[in-house]
């Protein structure tokens, strides 16, 4: 069998790699060699890394939150559309847990007076006449906006992180008065 190329075959690339017309026009095609055995090994190592990270995420994401989160109550103890204050521990501020306006939120409980959610106005109202929006912004009465706390609900329990109160929203007093109090 003759292994020499016929005189009409191009001097580059394997035979049959490109049609003759395309081979004449294509001058910048980089012909690659077969991949070495390192590539499949690298793919396997990458797959193992992704699998380990996925298992670690599933295990940690499906467990109860750890410290500094504190279990303050069962979710069933707070009726939908209401708010309640709970102790978080010695030396920590009490938490106002609100189960209204589309979810569960927690704030540092204001000093003095009981706070409740008013379904008619869609606002938080205190017994002293202070009014806040569901995000804790002061809109009526004396006082300050409520500082949000991190909150998680896991397996029917409400967990609050009392150690990291976030910056409260800027108050925008508009002279709102309590509707339900």
Q: Domain of 34?
A: 20-61
| Chain centre to alpha carbon of residue 106 | 16
CA dihedral 20, 25, 30, 33 (to 10 degrees): 0
d(CA 118, CA 124): 6
Does 12 reside within a domain? no
pLDDT above 60 for 132: yes
Does 147 reside within a domain? yes
Contact 72, 97 (CB under 8 A): yes
Does 4 reside within a domain? no
Contact 107, 146 (CB under 8 A): yes
Whether 74 and 152 share a structural domain: yes
d(CA 16, CA 31): 13
Question: Tokens representing 161?
Answer: 């992180």
Which pLDDT value is given to residue 27?
63
Which pLDDT value is given to residue 32?
58
Which pLDDT value is given to residue 42?
92
Each residue of 84-126: pLDDT tens digit? 888 888 888 888 888 887 788 888 888 877 888 888 888 888 8
Does 47 reside within a domain? yes
Query: Which strands, in side-by-side order, build the sheet including 95-99?
Result: 70-74, 157-161, 148-154, 104-108, 95-99, 82-86
Question: Tokens representing 124?
Answer: 């938080």
3-state secondary structure of 140: strand
Whether 92 and 54 share a structural domain: no
Each residue of 21-43: pLDDT tens digit? 776 766 665 555 666 778 889 99
Whether 74 and 157 share a structural domain: yes
How many structural domains does the chain have? Answer: 2
CATH of the domain at 149: 2.102.10.10
d(CA 148, CA 167): 7
The total of other beta-carbon atoms located within 10 Å of residue 159's CB is 20
């Amino acid at each position: 069998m003759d292994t020499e190329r016929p005189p009409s075959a191009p001097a580059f690339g394997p035979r049959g790699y490109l049609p003759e017309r395309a081979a004449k026009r294509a001058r910048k095609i980089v012909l690659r060699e077969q991949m070495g055995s390192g590539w499949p090994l690298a793919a396997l190592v990458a797959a193992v890394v992704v699998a380990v990270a996925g298992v670690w995420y599933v295990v940690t994401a499906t467990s109860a939150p750890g410290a500094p989160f504190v279990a303050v109550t069962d979710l069933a103890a707070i009726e939908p559309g209401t708010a309640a204050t709970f102790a978080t521990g010695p030396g920590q501020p009490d938490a106002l847990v609100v189960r209204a306006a589309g979810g569960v939120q927690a704030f540092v409980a204001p000093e003095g007076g009981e706070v409740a959610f008013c379904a008619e106005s869609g606002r938080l109202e205190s017994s002293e006449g202070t009014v806040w929006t569901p995000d804790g912004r002061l809109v009526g009465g004396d006082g300050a906006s409520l500082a949000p706390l991190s909150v998680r609900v896991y397996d029917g329990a409400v967990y609050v992180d009392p150690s990291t109160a976030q910056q409260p929203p800027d108050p925008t007093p508009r002279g709102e008065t309590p509707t339900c109090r």
